Structure formats: C-alpha cells, structure tokens
Amino acid sequence: MKDNYGREIEYMRISITDRCNFRCKYCMPCDVPFIPHEQILSYEEIYQICESALKLGVNRFKITGGEPLVRKGCLDFMRKLKSLPETRQVTITTNGLLLGEYAKEMKEIGIDGINVSLDTLDRDTFCHLTGVDGLERVLDSIYTAYNLGLKVKINCVPLKNVNEKDTFRMLEICKNHSIDVRFIEIMPIGYGKDYAGITLTNLERRIREMYPNGEEVMRKLGNGPARYYHPYEFRGSIGFIDSIHGKFCDKCNRVRITSEGFLKTCLYYNHGVSLRDYIRQGGSQEGLIRLMQETILKKPGEHHFGNCEDAQEDTRKMSQIGG
C-alpha cells in the first residue's frame, strides 16, 4: 500500500523477542529487565498480523529480535509464514551464534536471506563488544549457511575507538565469498546514544582508493537503500548505509512490529498503535486490517534524529524494536 507521502510500504520487520544471548555494548550492554512473556506477542498473533499485512500488500518480512533464534518455535513460524501464497520474502537477522544449528532447516524452508550482524573479526574485540567468546562459532555458522547455498549478508556497525580499526579486515569476507558486507551507521537509539560512529563516506572513499578498479552497483540489493561498491577482484559487494547522515526517508518502504505488538511506523518517532491490544480485546480481522492501514497511512515523512530533544521521540531500546 502507499502511505500519505506516496511511498510504497511493502516490507515489515518483526521483532519476535526482546531477549538475546549477546550483550552488545551499543544495544543491550547489561541484563536489562525483559518484557514479561504474556506481554510478548504469541506466534498466532504475529501470524494474524502478517496475514493482515499481506492484504495491504506488505509481503516481505524480516524476522528479528532481540535474537530471534533464542525464541523456541522461530523456525516453525518462519516455515508457516513462508508457505502463505502471498508471501514474497521471509528473511532473518541474527547474531549468528545459533545459526549453524538451524541453517539446514532454513535452506529446506526456503528462507530468502540471512543477515548476520558481525562487527569485528578480532576475537578480543568481539568478546568486548558482545560479552561472548563466540567469534569462531559465528564464523562457522556463516560459512555453514553460505555453503548450503543460503544468501548471507554481513552487517557491521563501525564504532569510533572500538572496532573501527577492524573495518578493513571485514572485507576479507566479501573478497573471497559472494557475501555482501554492509557498514551501518550507529543510530542514537537506546544505548547507541553512548557511542560515536565513523563517517561512512570517508570509509567508502578509502576503500575505493584501496580498490580503484570497481564499480558502483546500481541495482537495489536487499530491502533497503544502501550504496554498494563492487571491486572487480571481489566476489561480494561492500555496502554503506548511513541512515542518519545520508537520510533516505523519502525512499522508506518499511514498518515494524515490536515484540509487544506495537505497529511502529518510523524508527525515530513513537507513532503507531498496539495491535496486540486490539487483537486481545477481540478485534476482528477486518478491523485489524483497517487499523493497520490507517496507521501506515499516517507514517511520518522523515526522522529527526540528532536535531533536538523531541517529546515524540521513541524511548524503546533497539532490542525491543529489532533494528
């Protein structure tokens, strides 16, 4: 469907849990209080929301979290969602720790893509950043999935004085494999506010200088706007996603469902509606579709990250929203 600004909204990110087996410094650095189970959407409720979204033409779904693979039943849910005839795409974003165990089943289900969040290839920095000594296991998972023929992408958030020194090493992955590595600007959300990112345009310039023989990839790769550069000697491409400085709100195609069932129409604003409350109050399927349609229509035109303190800025943490 189109929103009031004429943007085609066809992609939904669904956070199925706020829990995680990592403690990434910029996302969930400590044992934050988790949302009680009964306040989290059940799979049946998420499924009902997806069925309604499909009626509105929202037909590409990204399963996220917290860490989606820590929630029991995640694969069964993705299988069910994938089997709906109108579903165009089901993808997942994961920290990769449990991916190796599930990769084969994901291949069998026909999962359309796996984004693995990986910020460094240095073991100590990985431990420091995530709180888990799991780099080797994550890398094994990535290559298990890749060797099964699953489409894998790596998302890396470079942070000043933390992992910025490791960014060039990340390129080893896409040099030797058909795996895109995408650098993502840290956003001032939740604990991310305590960190500074690096300027991605500078990083891109330096990479282009190192690998001058290459081309900008014009085709849209993935679900969102990213600039890609493909050095000719590389098998994969390098992406740059600067949502704050390279604002691309005019091309925004997405809405989000938080783990508590809030339909969130902009990453920045707290605009949206609790679909969970509507469903639990006995609302009909037609009513749910209407409610989603009315809410998506009013999706804000643009974010105002970094501008000023805004009373309408969302205070949710990234682990509740799902990225």
Residues that bind ligand SF4 (CB under 6 A): 20, 22-24, 27-28, 65-67, 95, 117, 319
Contacts of 49 (CB under 8 A, 6+ apart): 14, 41, 257, 261, 263, 275, 279, 288, 292
Q: Verify binding: residue 223, ligand SAM, rule CB under 6 A.
A: no
Q: Pick what 28 binds: ligand SF4, ligand SAM, none; C-beta below 5 to 8 Å, kind-dependent.
A: ligand SF4
Q: Which CB atom, from 183 or from 278, has the smaller least distance to ligand SAM? A: 183
Q: How far is the CB of 96 from ligand SAM (least distance, A)?
A: 8
Site for ligand SAM in 2-21 (CB under 6 A): 20
Closest among 256, 242, 243, 225 to 303, alpha carbons compared:
243
Q: Verify binding: residue 240, ligand SAM, rule CB under 6 A.
A: no
Q: Give the Cα separation of 202 and 183 in Å (integer).
A: 12
Q: Verify binding: residue 184, ligand SAM, rule CB under 6 A.
A: yes
Q: How far is the CB of 258 from ligand SF4 (least distance, A)?
A: 13
Tell me the one-letter amino acid at 272: G
Contact (CB, 8 A) for 27 and 318: yes
Q: Pick what 157 binds: ligand SF4, ligand SAM, none; C-beta below 5 to 8 Å, kind-dependent.
A: ligand SAM
Task: State whether the Cα torsion 276-279-281-286 is positive or negative.
Answer: positive
Q: What token pair was written down for 233? A: 């000697």
Q: Pick what 187 binds: ligand SF4, ligand SAM, none; C-beta below 5 to 8 Å, kind-dependent.
A: ligand SAM
Contact (CB, 8 A) for 264 and 256: yes
Q: How far is the CB of 47 from ligand SF4 (least distance, A)?
A: 22
Tell me the one-letter amino acid at 129: L
- Torsion region of 141: left, alpha or beta (phi above 0 gives left; psi -120 to 50 gives alpha): alpha
Q: Which stretch binds ligand SAM (CB under 6 A): 88-96, 174-182, 249-257, 277-285?
A: 88-96
Q: Which CB atom, from 68 or from 231, has the smaller least distance to ligand SF4? A: 68
Q: Verify binding: residue 27, ligand SAM, rule CB under 6 A.
A: yes
CA distances from 278 to 16, 65, 250, 255, 273 (A): 18, 22, 30, 18, 9
Q: Verify binding: residue 111, ligand SAM, rule CB under 6 A.
A: no
Q: How far is the CB of 143 from ligand SF4 (least distance, A)?
A: 19
Q: How far is the CB of 298 from ligand SF4 (least distance, A)?
A: 28
What is the b/e burial string over 61-99, where b = at least 16 CB atoms within 10 angstroms of the residue's CB? Answer: bbbbbbbbbbbeebbebbbbbbeeeebeebbbbbbbbbb
Contact (CB, 8 A) for 20 and 95: yes
Q: Which CB atom, from 258 or from 319, has the smaller least distance to ligand SAM? A: 319
Binding residues vs ligand SAM (CB under 6 A): 20, 26-27, 64-65, 67, 93-95, 117, 155, 157, 184, 186-187, 189, 192, 318-319, 322-323
